[in-house]
Amino acid sequence: MKKLIILILGFYFLTLFQISFFPHFFLTNSLNFILILVVLINLFEPRKEKLGLFSAFFGGFFLDIFSENFFGFWVLIFLAIAVFLKFILRKYVQIPIFKPT
Amino acid sequence: MKLSYRVRIGIISVLIVFFFLALNLTPVGKEVRNFFYLISEPIQKFFWRVGDRVSDFFELITEIKNLKKENEELKLRIQELMSEIVALKELKKENETLRKALGIGLEKEFKLVLAQVIGKDIFKDSILVNKGSRDNISKGLPVITEQKILIGKIKEVYENFSKVILISHQESSFDAKILEAEIYGVVKGKGNFKIFLELVPKEKEIRERDLLVTTALGGIFPKGLLVGEIKEVKKSDIEPFQQAEIKPFFDLKELEKLFIIFE
């Protein structure tokens, strides 16, 4: 539960940073840092954990709130990416340093 | 009774779908957005200001070589503009005298509301400002800067905030003319801060650095607002019209205070 609250707050502040701080910089203007974080969490969390799916949901939800698109647009994209990554990692990738727990 | 894993996943998926349908199809969505904008406003203002300063600092470092050259160019431009101002002042006086003689009153200035930029959409050319329906803002109102440079128009209004689509947004399209030459055309946004002047007959001569202002045609914006200057003219033998890329006068990074035109 504590992890989830930190995750929600983290994504909330990252979204604010993304829409109010990064537009001032040419390099970071159109980089989606929330997507990058969602992908990283999904890649590096233990296989049975579900934090990656929650991160996709909340990251997408906050991005939907602060963007022009309809609610669910980014949530759907992020959830699809998270599920795809989990499926690929579980089925085809074996990295010895991560325990398959 | 314990539900199987698949059934649980199914129920959760259906609940998520209903949740988003409710947010999109009922006014609750607007309320939710307004609530989040309201609680985030102070943090967003802070981030916007810090971003502005940090980018200014880095720009100064990278641009330091070009500053001298740019300074000289600007000095020359100021001299040109000064002489133009003197000529315009005389014309203004003449205009006022003629208006008095003909009994026509001076045009009223716009009624404005000050708004502050607090965020930008990640992939689209739209910004969020801190004035909404509570301040009598409505859809379609034009947004300008202090120098009467056109920024865009209001697209969506929440209770305390509004979304403004910039003139470079793909949905943006309005009539404009080249100031000196009385050449009319349609300004269309192409997204990613690109703007084009279109539907200008090929026989009309457009030059680089020509100034572009809005016209009252179409009734979208008031006439005489500055749009930008011609950056590059593109002509094609097979097209009946020519096209020109416009360099907008505003810089999103520098935008902080804007004005919404009421009347």
Lowest-confidence pick of B95-99, B146-150, B255-259: B95-99
- What tens digit of pLDDT does each residue of A39-63 get? 999 988 887 788 899 999 999 999 9
ipTM of the complex: 0.85
The confidence score (pLDDT) of residue A98 equals 58
Instruction: Select from B211, B223, B214, B215 the least CA-distant residue to B247.
Output: B211
Q: What CATH class does B111-263 carry?
A: mainly beta
Determine whether the interchain pair B119/A20 forms a contact, defined as Cβ–Cβ distance below 8 Å: yes
CA distance A15 to chain B (A): 10
Instruction: Find chain A residues with C-beta within 8 A of B52's C-beta.
Output: 24
Candidates A21, A37, A48, A69: best to mutate against B (most CBs of B within 10 A) is A21
Contact residues on chain B for A72, CB-CB shorter than 8 A: 20, 23-24
Asked if residue B104 has pLDDT above 90, the reply is: no
Q: Which residues of A touch B40 (CB under 8 A)?
A: 16
According to the model, what pLDDT value does residue B166 have?
93
Interval A12-37 mean pLDDT: 87
pLDDT of residue A12: 94
A42 touches chain B (CB under 8 A): no
Question: Of B36, B54, B163, which has the smallest distance from its Cβ to A68's Cβ?
Answer: B163
Distance of CA B28 to the CA centre of its chain: 28
> Is the Cβ of A83 closer than 8 Å to some Cβ of chain B?
no
Average pLDDT along chain B: 86
Residue A99: the pLDDT is: 55
Contact B232, B245 (CB under 8 A): yes
For residue B68, the model assigns a pLDDT of 81
| Side-chain half-sphere exposure of B113, counting CA atoms within 13 A | 22
Per-position DSSP letters for A34-84, written without gaps between them: HHHHHHHHHHHS-TT--HHHHHHHHHHHHHHHTSSSPTTHHHHHHHHHHHH
Check the CA dihedral B80-B81-B83-B87 and report its sign: positive
Main-chain dihedrals φ then ψ at residue B240, nearest 5 degrees: -75, -20
* A-chain residues near B44 (CB < 8 A): 16, 19-20
Is there a contact between B43 and A21 if contact means CB atoms under 8 Å apart? Answer: no
Q: Pick the residue from chain A with its C-alpha nearest to B24.
A: A71
Is 0.90 surpassed by the pTM of this model?
A: no
Task: Please indicate if any CB of chain B lies within 8 Å of the CB of A46.
Answer: no
Q: Which of A16, A57, A68 sits opposite B121 (nearest CB)?
A: A68
| pLDDT at res. B106 | 46
Single-letter amino acid code for the residue at B187: V
Domain range summary for chain B, segments of one domain joined by +: 5-59, 111-263
Which residues of chain B have a Cβ shorter than 8 Å from any chain A Cβ? 16, 20, 23-24, 29, 32-33, 36, 40, 43-45, 47-48, 50-52, 54-55, 58, 118-124, 126, 128, 155-156, 163, 192, 252-253
- In the numeric block, the tokens 């988003």 are attached to B20
* pLDDT tens per residue, range A60-74: 999 999 988 899 999
Mean pLDDT for the stretch of residues B176-182:
85
User: Which of A75-79, B51-55, B189-193 has the highest average model confidence (pLDDT)?
Assistant: A75-79
